[in-house]
Amino acid sequence: MGIVENNIQFTVVEDGSEQIIETYIGEYRSLMALLKDELYLDSFGECGGVGRCATCIVKTSGISGNSSIKDRNEPVTLSKMGYEEENVRLSCQLMITKDLEGSCIEIIG
Ligand code: FES
């Protein structure tokens, strides 16, 4: 795969302000790691990505493919926090793949 096919672009909304994030497959191990690093978020992703702390919650739109399905600890952790909506997700359980291309990710916790 060439560099262009590996590129991924999506929108991130934080406190009402939008920005376009550009990344590529393999740059970060999860969306949580990307958001923490690129947006300098404090107390985000505290469990390091095992899907238990629920400090990495995002509201998503436009995610496609397998990434749109909640897996492993994710549904249980989110329901404990009162989030049953399909588009509310733990960003540590979202990998940086083409499934994120063109999506919108809003940080909510
Ligand atoms: S980093 Fe802890 S649940 Fe995502």
How big is the chain by its Cα radius of gyration, in Å? 13
Give, in order, the Cα–Cα distances in Å from 13 to each of 2, 9, 61, 79, 84: 29, 13, 11, 23, 21
Rounded CA separation 71/74 (Å): 6
- Is residue 109's pLDDT more than 90? no
Q: Mean pLDDT of all residues in the chain?
A: 94
Rounded CA separation 18/29 (Å): 23
pLDDT tens, 53-106? 999 999 999 999 999 999 889 999 999 999 999 999 999 999 999 999 999 999
CATH 3.40.1190.10 fits 3-107, yes or no: no
pLDDT given at position 1: 52
Stated pTM of the model: 0.93
Residue 19 Cα to ligand 1 midpoint, Å, equals: 22
**Ligand 1 closest atom vs CA 54:** 3
Residue 85 Cα to ligand 1 midpoint, Å, equals: 17
Q: Which of 99, 82, 106, 105 is nearest to 8 (CA)?
A: 99
pLDDT given at position 72: 86
Kindly list the protein residues whose Cβ atom lies closer than 6 A to any atom of ligand 1: 32, 45-47, 49, 51-56, 77, 90, 92
